[in-house]
C-alpha cells in the first residue's frame, strides 16, 4: 500500500471512466447523483479517481468505525474468506457464536440475552417490529409507539416506525398499529398504557439532524414501560458500537432496555445487523418465526469480531468520548455567525446552522477535501471514524474553517 499522503491518479482504477454517465444509465433512480467516485481509502482518508484526497468525517454514515483498510479488518476478511464465507442458517460457525457471545457481554444482555443476526439496520428493526407484535397479552396490546421525526429504515415495517410522513406517502398502506408521539415526557405519560406492545426510541435522532432526547426521557420511558409491560426497544443502529462515547447510547442514562437493534459500526464496512434481546423478551420468538439466509454468516461475523475486538483493545469508546469533546470545542471555537448550536454525543455530532445553507456548506467542504453530511437544510452531521486523533482534528479544523469562510 502506498503512503497515506500520496496517490498516483495515473494508476487508474478500472471502471472509473465516464462513471457519472454510467451510474445514471445503470443504477435505479433511488439515489441522488454521487458526490464523487471513491477508489481507495486508508485510515481517515479516501481518494477519488482523479487522485484528490479527502478527510472522511462521515465514515460511510457512522459505519467505518476503524476508518479505511484497517489491518485487523483486512486480515479478518482475508483469513475468513479463505476458510468459509457462507454456510446458510442450517449450520453454525465459530465466529457466529463468538460474536453472539461478545454482543451479549458488551450490551449487558447477559446470560438470558439472545442475538438474532441479519444484514442491516432496517432488517434489525423489521425483526424488532415482529418481536413487538408477539408482546400481545392475549390480543389486548395492539399499539406500537415511535417518535415524530424518527428514522428506523426504508423497508415497510421500518418505514411504518419512522416518524417522517413524507417518506411513507408513496408506499401507503404501511403495516398498521404504529402511532407517532412527540418527544416529550408528557407525551410518554399520556400515551403509554396496557394497550401498548412496544416503544421504539432512537437515543439520538441521527437522520433528523442529530437531535438529542430531552433530559430524563429515556429513564422515564423505562419506568413507564416497566409499569405497563411495554417492550422498550432502542434503535442503536447509528449510535452504537462506541460512537457516542459509551458502547451503546442508552448506557448514558443507566437503563436496561428490553431489546436493541444494531448495525453500521459493528461491521466496519461489511453489512451486518443484529437484534439483541434482554431477559424475558428473549423467549418471545420461537423456531421458524423469523430468519435470514445471509444473517450471521462466517465472513461478516468474523469481521465484526475483529472490529469490536479492536474497539475494545485500543480503547476507542473512550477515544470517541474524548475526541468528541475536542471536536465540539473546535466547532464552538469558529465563533461563526452561521453556527447556532452543537448537538449529539461523542463522535456523532450535529452542527446546527442559523440559515438553511447546509448543502452549500457540505459542498464547500468537499471542495476543501473534507467529507461531511448535510443531514437537513440547517444541520451538518459529523460521524468520523473512532480512530481519529490530534492530526485529524487539526486537519478538520483547517478544512472546515475554509469551507465556513467561503460562505
pLDDT in tens, 51-86: 999 999 999 999 999 999 999 999 999 999 999 999
Cα–Cα distance, 267 to 270 (Å, whole number): 5
Verify whether residue 151 is a known catalytic residue.
yes
Structure confidence at residue 344 (pLDDT): 97
Q: Is the pLDDT of residue 3 over 50?
A: no
Is the alpha carbon torsion for 77, 243, 224, 130 positive or negative?
negative
The answer to whether 349 and 379 have CB atoms below 8 angstroms apart is: no
Angle between helices 298-313 and 94-107 (to 10 degrees): 40
Distance of CA 269 to the CA centre of its chain: 11
The answer to whether 59 and 383 have CB atoms below 8 angstroms apart is: yes
**Closest by alpha carbon to 80, among 244, 297, 361?**
297
Interval 83-92: pLDDT, tens: 999 999 999 9
In our burial notation (b when 16+ CB lie closer than 10 A, e otherwise), range 7-36 reads: beeeeeeeeeeeeeeeeeeeeeeeeeeeee
Catalytic residue among 117, 264, 396, 400: 264
Catalytic residue among 129, 151, 200, 396: 151
Q: Is the pLDDT of residue 268 over 80?
A: yes
DSSP letter, residue 129: H
Q: Is the pLDDT of residue 5 over 80?
A: no
Structure confidence at residue 149 (pLDDT): 97
Interval 359-398: pLDDT, tens: 999 999 999 999 999 999 999 999 999 999 999 999 999 9
Verify whether residue 390 is a known catalytic residue.
no
Portion of the chain with pLDDT greater than 90, in percent:
92
Catalytic residue among 235, 250, 258, 400: 235
Please give the average per-residue pLDDT across 204-227, as a whole number: 97
Structure confidence at residue 31 (pLDDT): 87
Cα–Cα distance, 74 to 141 (Å, whole number): 47
Q: Is the pLDDT of residue 32 over 90?
A: no
Structure confidence at residue 1 (pLDDT): 30
Q: Is the pLDDT of residue 328 over 60?
A: yes
| Residue that has been written with the C-alpha cell 422515564 in this structure | 220
Residue 355, H or E segment = none
Is the alpha carbon torsion for 257, 348, 371, 319 positive or negative?
negative
| Three-point CA angle 274, 350, 145, nearest 5° | 50
User: Could you tell me the pLDDT band of residue 18, with boundaries at 50, 70 and 90?
Assistant: confident
**Closest by alpha carbon to 235, among 125, 161, 343?**
125
Name the grid cell of 98. Answer: 463468538
Q: Is the pLDDT of residue 2 over 50?
A: no
Cα–Cα distance, 64 to 244 (Å, whole number): 14
Cα–Cα distance, 7 to 2 (Å, whole number): 7
Cα–Cα distance, 125 to 297 (Å, whole number): 19
Cα–Cα distance, 403 to 360 (Å, whole number): 9
Q: Is the pLDDT of residue 13 over 80?
A: no
| Residue that has been written with the C-alpha cell 415511535 in this structure | 146
Cα–Cα distance, 76 to 91 (Å, whole number): 21
User: Could you tell me the pLDDT band of residue 8, with boundaries at 50, 70 and 90?
Assistant: low
Structure confidence at residue 14 (pLDDT): 76
Structure confidence at residue 9 (pLDDT): 56
Tally helices (H) and strands (E) across the chain. 13, 17
Alpha-carbon separation of residue 392 from 43, 86, 232 (angstroms) = 10, 37, 37
Output the pTM of the full model. Answer: 0.95
Strand, helix or coil for residue 204: strand
State the chain's mean pLDDT as an integer: 95
Structure confidence at residue 12 (pLDDT): 62
Amino acid at each position: 500500500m502506498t503512503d497515506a499522503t500520496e496517490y498516483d491518479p495515473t494508476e487508474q482504477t478500472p471502471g472509473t471512466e465516464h462513471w457519472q454517465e454510467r451510474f445514471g444509465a445503470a443504477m435505479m433512480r433511488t439515489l441522488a447523483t454521487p458526490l464523487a467516485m471513491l477508489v481507495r481509502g486508508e485510515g481517515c482518508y479516501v481518494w477519488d479517481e482523479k487522485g484528490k484526497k479527502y478527510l472522511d468525517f462521515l465514515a460511510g454514515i457512522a459505519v467505518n468505525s476503524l476508518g479505511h483498510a484497517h489491518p485487523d479488518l483486512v486480515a479478518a476478511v482475508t483469513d475468513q474468506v479463505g476458510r468459509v464465507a457462507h454456510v446458510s442458517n442450517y449450520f453454525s460457525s465459530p465466529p457466529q457464536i463468538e460474536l453472539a457471545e461478545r454482543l451479549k457481554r458488551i450490551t449487558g444482555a447477559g446470560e438470558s440475552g439472545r442475538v438474532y443476526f441479519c444484514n442491516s439496520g432496517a432488517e434489525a428493526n423489521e425483526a424488532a417490529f415482529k418481536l413487538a407484535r408477539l408482546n400481545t397479552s392475549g390480543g389486548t396490546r395492539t399499539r406500537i409507539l415511535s417518535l415524530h421525526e424518527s428514522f428506523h429504515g426504508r423497508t415497510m415495517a421500518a418505514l411504518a416506525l419512522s416518524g417522517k410522513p413524507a417518506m411513507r406517502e408513496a408506499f401507503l398502506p404501511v403495516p398498521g398499529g404504529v402511532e407517532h408521539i412527540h418527544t416529550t415526557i408528557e407525551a410518554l405519560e399520556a400515551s403509554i398504557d396496557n394497550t401498548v406492545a412496544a416503544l421504539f426510541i432512537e437515543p439520538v435522532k441521527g437522520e433528523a439532524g442529530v437531535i438529542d432526547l430531552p433530559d430524563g426521557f429515556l429513564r422515564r420511558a423505562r419506568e413507564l414501560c416497566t409499569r405497563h409491560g411495554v417492550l422498550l426497544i432502542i434503535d442503536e443502529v447509528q449510535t452504537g458500537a462506541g460512537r457516542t462515547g459509551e458502547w451503546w447510547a442508552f448506557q448514558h442514562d443507566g437503563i436496561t432496555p428490553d431489546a436493541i437493534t444494531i448495525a453500521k459500526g459493528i461491521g466496519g464496512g461489511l453489512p451486518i445487523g443484529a437484534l439483541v434481546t434482554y431477559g424475558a423478551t428473549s423467549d418471545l420468538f420461537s423456531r421458524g418465526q423469523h430468519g435470514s439466509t445471509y444473517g450471521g454468516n462466517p465472513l461478516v461475523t468474523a469481521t465484526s469480531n475483529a472490529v469490536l475486538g479492536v474497539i475494545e483493545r485500543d480503547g476507542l469508546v473512550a477515544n470517541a468520548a474524548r475526541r468528541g469533546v475536542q471536536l465540539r470545542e473546535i466547532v464552538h471555537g469558529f465563533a461563526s455567525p452561521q453556527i447556532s448550536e452543537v448537538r449529539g454525543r461523542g463522535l456523532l455530532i450535529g452542527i446546527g446552522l442559523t440559515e438553511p445553507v447546509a448543502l452549500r456548506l457540505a459542498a464547500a467542504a468537499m471542495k476543501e477535501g473534507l467529507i461531511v453530511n448535510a443531514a437537513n437544510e440547517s444541520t451538518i452531521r459529523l460521524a468520523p471514524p473512532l480512530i481519529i486523533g490530534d492530526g485529524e482534528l487539526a486537519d478538520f479544523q483547517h478544512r472546515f474553517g475554509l469551507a465556513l469562510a467561503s460562505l
